[in-house]
Structure formats: C-alpha cells, structure tokens
Structure 1
Amino acid sequence: MHTPAETLTHAARRLSIALLSGLALFTILAAVSGRGEFGMIAAFCLVLYLGMILPSLHKREAPLVAVAGLSVLAVVVLHPVPGPILLSAAAKGASFASLILALGFLQAPASHSHLVHRCGEFLINQGPSRRYAALTVGGHLFGIVLNLGALSLLGGMMHRSNTLTQAGGDPAIVALRSERMSMAMLRGFSTSTLWSPTTLTVTVSLTLVPDGLWLTILPIGLVMAALLLFFGYLQDRIQHPPRARAVALSYHTDLTLKETLFPLSLLVVAVLGLIIAVRQVSGWPLGTVVILVVPLFSVGWMFWQNIRRNLRLAIGITLRQVGRHAAERLPKSRYEVVSLSCGGIVGGCVAALIPPGALGDLLHYLGLPPVALLLAIFWVVVIGAQVSINPIITVPLLGAAMMQMHPMPVSTLALLLTLVTSWTMFTLLSPFSASALILGNLAEVSPRTIVHKWNGAYALFAAFLFHALIITVELLTAPVL
C-alpha cells in the first residue's frame, strides 16, 4: 500500500511527464500549423512545469530560474505592453526545452543497440598508435547520434578497460591512457557541435537568426571540424611519440571497421539525410524538423531492432520501449529542460528591453569596427563559461539582442558562426560543462585538469581558428551601411 507521500510523488512524476509531453507536442503543432494558440498552450505547459518543480529546485537550477524570474519582472515593470513579450519568451523557452527532449529520444534505441556497443568496444580496444584517431572519429559520430550520452558510453568503457592489470601494474600507463582517450573523446564530441543539427549548439543558434542558414554553415562546420580533428591527432602524436606510446598496452579486438564504424556512419547519414529532406520539402524551421524527425527516427530504429521477431510482437515491444523511455527519461531531463527553457525566457525578455539602435550607437560612439562586436560576443560567452554561466543563457541573450539591431552592423552569417563557435568553446574549455564533469569523474581527475591542463593548448588553437573564420566571413559578407 502506498503512503500519501509516495502517492503524491508518483502523481507529481506522472504530471511532469504529461506536461513535458504536452510541451513538445504543442510546440510541434505551433510550428507546423503556424497557429499561435498551440504556442500558447506549450508556454502554459512550461509555466505549469516550472511552477510544479519550484519548491524542489536544486542548487544548480535555482540561479537559472532566478535570472529568468528577474527578466520576467523587468519586462512587467519596464515594458509598456508586457503580455505579448512574456508569451513570446515562454513559447521560445518551450521550443528550446522541446529540442532537448527530442534529442534525448536517440538514446533509447542506442542503449539497446548491439551496433553501438560493438563500435565502443572496437574504438576502445585499438592499439596505442591507432586508438586516439579511432576514438576521436568515433566520438564525433557518437556525438551526432547520442549527444552527451556518447561520453557516458565511451567513457564508461574506457574506465572499465583501463586497469592496472592491463597496464602491467604501472599506474603511469593507466594515467597516460586515461589522458589520451579522454582528449580523443572530448575533441571528437565537441567538433560535432560545429555543424550537426542533432546538437543543441547548432539548432538553438539557428532559432536566433533568420532560418535557412544551416545548409550554408554545414560545409563550413564540416571543414572546421576536420581541421580540428586533424590538429588534435597531430598534437597527440607530438606529445606522445612512438617510444612513449609503445609502453601503453592495448586490448585485442576481432571487430573490423566494416562491422562497426561503417554501419554507424550509415546511421548518421540516414538521420541527417532525413532531416535535410524534410526541411527542404516542408520548409519548416530546422528546430521544428529536428523535434519532429528525431523521435520518429528513434522509434523506427527501435522497431528495426525488434523486427527479427514477428511483426505484431515487434510493434508491441517498440511501443513498450517508447513508453518506458518517456517514463524514465523525461523526469531525468529536468535540469536540461530548466536550463534551456530559462535561457529562452531570458533571451526573449531582455532582447525586448534593449532599444533597437542601442548597440549600434555604442559601436559608433566607441569607434570600434563591427568585427570587434562579434569577437566581444565570442569572449563574453567563453569567459562567462569559466564562471559557470552556461551558453544557454548568454547565447540566446546576445543573439536576440543583436537581431534587435536595425540596421544590423554585422553579417547574419558571421553572427551565427560566432554563436556556434563560442558555444563549442564551452565544451572545450569550461570546467562547468557536462562533458568535463563526465570525463573528469570517469578519469578520476578534476574537470579543470581535463579542460585547462590537458586540453588548454588545443582549445586556444581552436579559438584562434574560430577568430580567423569569424573575421574572414564578416569581411566577405558584411552589410553595406
């Protein structure tokens, strides 16, 4: 028999699942139909959800909710017509939250996929001379499919395989392997955020600028990712020459590329191809396409895994897996939902309070070139990330503020690349990023060791490369004022 407290907890859990499901559903309906009423219902679901969890806020959630609350209060006090502004900000917060819920669906079929686990085993069990290259490319592919789940999966395999026994009893070899594998995974994962629509970095940034720029930044992001992956491999070779690498023992695996990374690559191509096809045919914003396509693709993947049995049984098993994922995963997405929705609310509220010409007037007064504004945005995001200010707050805020400017003093494409690359720097350099926390915990070192000591030089090179890209694009595409 359930006690009243247990019954209340169970009821609250079911209510949170219903509200988050409704939030995602009505966000999709609003975007697809163009009817604002659905957006209002999505915003209402978000407000109810935030109100429901308010009494039980965690330490890291409270500042985000407080900032969102202050921004709402500022609009109420300072704006002559606050109602439409607050509704629009809440709808934007709901759309951001829907993105993380949709992307989380990919982890359901991946957790049961023999292919994914074979790929992880193949990557971890490479020889020292090949392991970094295999893990950084594999981490890139896994990041597209699993997002942060890639680091948890590969990092867990790394932790289990990197033992004193396998290192011949030498803790120095354990430490060496841990550092190299952690860096390979971090760099591979982070570079996927430069172009993949299944990452929040690209999809959220694209919601801040006129839609249609993803296919423009796609080749740019791919080239930048390839350059950074190659530089990381080169740095690893220089830091760990053959003599140093030779002492690191390795496992043996009979798995091949044809059995592992090749089919995983086909899976990545399939989900990206489906996103591109639906985007081109429907004309919907990329965020809408991702929210719709990714869960459907995930359900199809689960069904494919179960199709070896008879059709009716496969349908039943798939439906149960979807229900189990919703029941288990949605409540666990609480922090992501809170951070993303609060970021959308803050961006929508604060941008509405900034006069359209304010930033342009400031630039003119200081006598700075427009490219200086882009670099300032870049470093505000990067420096903020060093003191625990997540880009989900700074990127929507700065992006929305820039889009308020009339006329825009900078190229929209350059602004988009600034937002994307500065967010990527959060993954590479912030000790407060989820990637640093996951890898630090698995490698049994502090997150600062991961991003500053082990990855600092690489991150600074990435920043230099990003600066060169931003400046070049701005000079080539700057508007004539």
Structure 2
Amino acid sequence: MATSLEQLKATKLLDKTIGVMLGLIIVFTILSNWDVFFFAGPAAKVLTVLSVLALVPSVKGSRRVFVVVAFALVVYAFVFYSAPWTVISEGLARASFIVAFFCALATLRHVAGISDKITRAAVFLASQPPGRRYSALTLGVQAFAPMLNYGAISVLGGMSRASSDREPDPEIRKIRIRRMLQAVHRGFAASLCWSPLGFAMVISTSIVDGAEINHIILPALVSSAILIGVGWTMDQIFKPTIPAGHHATPLSATLPTTARDLLPVLWLIILIAIPVIVLDLVAGLSAAMSVLLIIPLLSAGWLLVGAPPKERGHHFALHACEFGFIELPSFRNEIVLLSMAGFIGSTAGTMLAPIVAASGLDLAALPVWLLLILPILLIPLGGQLGMNPILFVSLFGPLLPSAAELGISPTAIVLSITAGWALSGVTSPFTASVMLVARLGDVTPATVSWRWNGLYTATCAVALAVWLMFWA
C-alpha cells in the first residue's frame, strides 16, 4: 500500500484529469439512455474529444495517424456537407461508447488482477497434464476472456510460460511453450464469437439492424466450438514428436490447486449474466449498455467484499484512485486507437454509403452465400494491412444490405462478422492478441500469425463458411 500511495502522490495532474474525464465518460454514456439526462450524450462526446487530445502527445506515432485521419474527415465533412455535425456526431457517439465500454471493462480487469482466486484458477489450468492441457487452456480462457479481455492472454499465457520455463530441456520447453500459447490464443479468438463483453459482439450488433445478443449467443457458441474443435484437432494431428534422448518433465503447479478453484470465475460470469438479462427484460436496456452499467458496480462490490471489514473504505478508495489516476491513463495507446477507429469507421462509412449507392454497385444483388463469406475473408485480410477490426467493421459494416433485403436473419450477418473478427485476432500481426502471444513466445508477430496460425485460419474459414451456409 505504501508503494501505491507514493505512486498516487507522484501522479501528474494531467493524468489525474484524464482519469476523471474517462470515468465521467462512463457515467454520461450510461445516463444518455434516458431522455431526462439530455445533456449526457453531448457531454460524453466533448469529454471523449478532450481526453483524446490530452493523450495524443504521449501515444505512439501509429496512433497519431488515426487522429490525423479523424481530423481530416472532420474537415471534409465541414467542406462538403451541409449538415456536418450530423455525420460527426454519429462518429463521436461511437467513439465515446467505445471509450466508456473499454474503461468499464478495465475496472473488472483491475480487480481480477489483484485477486488470489483468479490467480489460482489460472494456475490450475496451466498445470494440467499433457492429455488435457490444450483443452483446459483453450476452454478455460473462454471464462477469463469476458472479464479480462486481452488480459486473459496475459494471465493464462503468462502462467503457461512460467510453468513451461521450469522444463530444463530446451527443445521440449520450446514445443511446450508454443502449444500452450496456441491453446490460449485460439481459445481467446473463439471467445470473440460469443462474448457479450467483447467489442466483436458489441460493435457487430450495433451496426446490424434487428440484431439482439440474446438471439445470437447460442449459434455464436457453435462458431466458437468450431474454432476450438479445429484447434484441438490440429494440435493432435501436428503434435511435435519428442526427439530421441529427450524426456519431458511433468508440469507442477506453483501452488496446490484443484478444480474447485474455477468456481469463483464461474460465479463471476453468473453475476454478470443475470443482471444483464434482467435489465434487458425489465428496463429494455441493450446488453451492451447493461454491461456498461453492471461491470463497474460489480467491480466496486468485489473490491469491498475482498477487503478486511475494518479497511474496506481505505482499500476501496486506494484502488479507485490507483485505477483512475494511474491505470486508466496508462491505456493511452489503446484508448486513442479504439476511439479513433470507431470514429473513423462510423464517419467514413456514413460518407461512403451515398457514394456506393451513386456508383450503381448493388451489394444486395450478390448471392447471399457470398455476402456472408466476405466478412470472414475481408476482415482478416484488412488485418494484414493494419486495419483494426473495429475500424474495418465500422467502415464497411453499414454498407452491407440489411438482413430483410437479403431475406435472412440478422443473426447470420453478426455471426459472419464476428467469425471474421475472430480469425483476424489470430492472423493480423498488428492486433494486441498476436503481439502479446509473440512477446510471451519470444517470436515475431509474423511467426505467430502465419507460421503458427496460417493453416489453422484457412481451415477455420472454410468450416465457419459451411456453418454459416447451414445456419442461413
């Protein structure tokens, strides 16, 4: 605690201001769901702009490019549109929601990161024997991903790397690290197909008219099962043989764990799911907005319950300040990238729609099967060019014909988009998931994308396309 207090005292005023603004964006985005808080939506947009401007000087050059492109779109709107604020406002609404959603999820990641129970669950999964290690990790990360997002790769991947590093034989250690990281990475990608806390589901359902998460979850779990099944099958088929004269040392947990250590993770999922369903049925809030409301409250409750009774106030205040003033501003690169990707995609997509219509290109004239397969192919392809899935989907998603025009369910379109998003998560060298796995595996992002996952991605693309044809 002394270190935390010292860090708080040394925190710059700018970081504290940014933390407060980001926290208020969450609050105003939630309040914007009710007409009585008419000021909330505009306030969230203004704070998003101010937060990005405050963060820009300290982010990577590649993130600044997104800000420059966003500014160029604003200028273009003012020059060529009679009502530029209409276009810009839609883009800012998307950006402010993305910032709010990211920061809200970060509260849960902060609390989970300091929980011994979450650590024990991760250790249990990472220390499974060879016969069920891949399955344990690729299925286990499904439970961690909704809570921790990319942090699930850091936690389970880090535990996997730590347990593998205790193997004295370098050849076996190299094989073990690769297989365990592949299991975590592919399992995380599979979670993007169904997780209501992931951007893939949230963004997809927001741009596809008529899409509802409660109708999508079950078929989305089938998509996830396909990714998991293909990964497990390929792991078994292409499992490296141990060279002659080499003997693997059984993994041992750094602390004694049992299957019961997974219960806290399962309880967390239940505590998130039930209020989301209730708010949807009672208050009519969308699943995304319900999550935005519930996650910070759940995180706060977890902090209070996990502290000694006499220290709860101090414990909560310390971690709240630590999260708001230190941790949130540290996500500067992610916040700028995600918010600008959402703004650019939404704004440019709105601008492109009339241009595409005027060109005579009628996407509705294409075969339905082709339109459903295109996202599975194009989103990963865009990832090879450095296009963030949020940017790609926000940009091209609105150009797709409506489900009613195609005569199919909105669910089919969402399944297609989330499938392509998931495949981009294992093939794009520019995504956070690939870069995290590459860092943990001491290899390049290109190695993870193409050598580790190239054949896997191609196989999954075919399997998912067949599944979508069946569903549609």
TM-score in terms of structure 2 length:
0.90
- 1:252 and 2:236 are equivalent in the alignment: no
Q: What corresponds to 1:71 in structure 2?
A: 73
Q: Within 2, Cα distance between the matches of 1:150 and 1:175?
A: 21
Equivalence map 1:8-407=2 (5 Å): 10-33=12-35, 35-163=37-165, 166-168=166-168, 170-210=169-209, 213-240=212-239, 247-253=247-253, 255-306=256-307, 309-310=308-309, 312-355=310-353, 358-359=356-357, 362-364=360-362, 368-402=366-400
Identity of aligned residues (%): 28
Deviation at 1:154, TM superposition (A): 1.9
Moved more, 388-397 or 346-355: 346-355
Root-mean-square deviation (CA), in Å? 2.7
Aligned-partner residue type, residue 415 of structure 2: L
Q: Within 2, Cα distance between the matches of 1:461 and 1:273?
A: 35
Q: Within 2, Cα distance between the matches of 1:215 and 1:184?
A: 28
Q: Within 2, Cα distance between the matches of 1:161 and 1:17?
A: 36
Listed one character per residue, the Cα deviations across residues 357-402 of structure 1 (whole Å, up to 9, x for unaligned) are: 9459745499632443343344332111012111111111112333
Aligned-partner residue type, residue 176 of structure 1: I
Deviation at 1:15, TM superposition (A): 1.9
Q: Within 1, Cα distance between the matches of 2:86 and 2:37?
A: 15
Deviation at 1:407, TM superposition (A): 7.3
Aligned-partner residue type, residue 268 of structure 1: I
Aligned-partner residue type, residue 300 of structure 2: V
Q: Within 2, Cα distance between the matches of 1:231 and 1:262?
A: 27
Does the residue aligned with 2:167 lie in a helix, a strand or coil? coil
Deviation at 1:249, TM superposition (A): 2.1
Q: Within 2, Cα distance between the matches of 1:367 and 1:136?
A: 40
Listed one character per residue, the Cα deviations across residues 112-155 of structure 1 (whole Å, up to 9, x for unaligned) are: 21111111211222222222121111222111221111111122
Q: Within 2, Cα distance between the matches of 1:34 and 1:373?
A: 41
Q: Within 1, Cα distance between the matches of 2:206 and 2:403?
A: 19
Query: CA contact under 8 A between 1:212 and 1:285: conserved in structure 2?
Result: no
Query: CA contact under 8 A between 2:194 and 2:217: conserved in structure 1?
Result: yes
Q: What corresponds to 1:3 in structure 2?
A: none
Equivalence map 1:434-445=2 (5 Å): 434-445=432-443
Listed one character per residue, the Cα deviations across residues 158-216 of structure 1 (whole Å, up to 9, x for unaligned) are: 232223xx433x21101100111011100111111111111111112222223651011
Query: CA contact under 8 A between 2:197 and 2:288: conserved in structure 1?
Result: no
Query: CA contact under 8 A between 1:374 and 1:415: conserved in structure 2?
Result: yes
Listed one character per residue, the Cα deviations across residues 91-128 of structure 1 (whole Å, up to 9, x for unaligned) are: 22101111111111111221121111111211222222
Q: Within 2, Cα distance between the matches of 1:314 and 1:9?
A: 23
Query: CA contact under 8 A between 2:123 and 2:257: conserved in structure 1?
Result: no
Structure 2 residues without counterparts, runs of 5 or longer = 1-8
Q: Within 1, Cα distance between the matches of 2:313 and 2:196?
A: 28
Q: Within 2, Cα distance between the matches of 1:103 and 1:17?
A: 15
Aligned-partner residue type, residue 251 of structure 2: Y
Query: CA contact under 8 A between 1:377 and 1:398: conserved in structure 2?
Result: no
Matched residues, number = 461
Listed one character per residue, the Cα deviations across residues 280-299 of structure 1 (whole Å, up to 9, x for unaligned) are: 22111222111111111111
Q: Within 2, Cα distance between the matches of 1:43 and 1:208?
A: 19
Query: CA contact under 8 A between 2:142 and 2:191: conserved in structure 1?
Result: yes
Moved more, 206-215 or 446-455: 206-215
Query: CA contact under 8 A between 1:32 and 1:284: conserved in structure 2?
Result: no
Which of the numbers 428, 446, 453 marks the counterpart of 2:451?
453
Deviation at 1:250, TM superposition (A): 2.1
Q: Within 1, Cα distance between the matches of 2:194 and 2:363?
A: 35
> Does the C-alpha gap of structure 1 residues 364 and 292 become closer, same or farther in structure 2, counting only changes over 3 Å?
closer
Q: Within 1, Cα distance between the matches of 2:155 and 2:365?
A: 50
Does the residue aligned with 1:284 lie in a helix, a strand or coil? coil
TM-score in terms of structure 1 length:
0.88
Query: CA contact under 8 A between 1:97 and 1:340: conserved in structure 2?
Result: yes
Q: Within 2, Cα distance between the matches of 1:379 and 1:227?
A: 17
> Does the C-alpha gap of structure 1 residues 379 and 68 become closer, same or farther in structure 2, counting only changes over 3 Å?
farther
Q: Within 1, Cα distance between the matches of 2:126 and 2:363?
A: 55
Query: CA contact under 8 A between 2:280 and 2:290: conserved in structure 1?
Result: yes
Query: CA contact under 8 A between 1:363 and 1:370: conserved in structure 2?
Result: no
Deviation at 1:241, TM superposition (A): 7.2
Aligned-partner residue type, residue 89 of structure 2: L
Deviation at 1:34, TM superposition (A): 6.7
Q: Within 1, Cα distance between the matches of 2:239 and 2:376?
A: 32
Listed one character per residue, the Cα deviations across residues 320-373 of structure 1 (whole Å, up to 9, x for unaligned) are: 222211122210121222122212222332233234594597454996324433
> Does the C-alpha gap of structure 1 residues 223 and 365 become closer, same or farther in structure 2, counting only changes over 3 Å?
closer
Does the residue aligned with 1:184 lie in a helix, a strand or coil? helix
Q: Within 2, Cα distance between the matches of 1:216 and 1:191?
A: 18
Deviation at 1:9, TM superposition (A): 8.2
> Does the C-alpha gap of structure 1 residues 353 and 332 become closer, same or farther in structure 2, counting only changes over 3 Å?
same
Deviation at 1:279, TM superposition (A): 2.2
Does the residue aligned with 1:197 lie in a helix, a strand or coil? coil
Query: CA contact under 8 A between 1:207 and 1:287: conserved in structure 2?
Result: no
Query: CA contact under 8 A between 1:429 and 1:456: conserved in structure 2?
Result: yes
Query: CA contact under 8 A between 1:23 and 1:42: conserved in structure 2?
Result: yes
Q: Within 2, Cα distance between the matches of 1:364 and 1:155?
A: 45
Aligned-partner residue type, residue 53 of structure 2: G
Q: Within 2, Cα distance between the matches of 1:187 and 1:444?
A: 18
Q: Within 1, Cα distance between the matches of 2:52 and 2:203?
A: 20
Aligned-partner residue type, residue 454 of structure 1: W
Structure 1 residues without counterparts, runs of 5 or longer = 1-6, 475-481
Q: Within 2, Cα distance between the matches of 1:397 and 1:50?
A: 20
Moved more, 357-366 or 114-123: 357-366
Aligned-partner residue type, residue 303 of structure 1: L
Does the residue aligned with 2:192 lie in a helix, a strand or coil? helix
Query: CA contact under 8 A between 2:389 and 2:421: conserved in structure 1?
Result: yes
Moved more, 36-45 or 232-241: 232-241
Does the residue aligned with 1:335 lie in a helix, a strand or coil? helix
Q: Within 2, Cα distance between the matches of 1:359 and 1:191?
A: 35
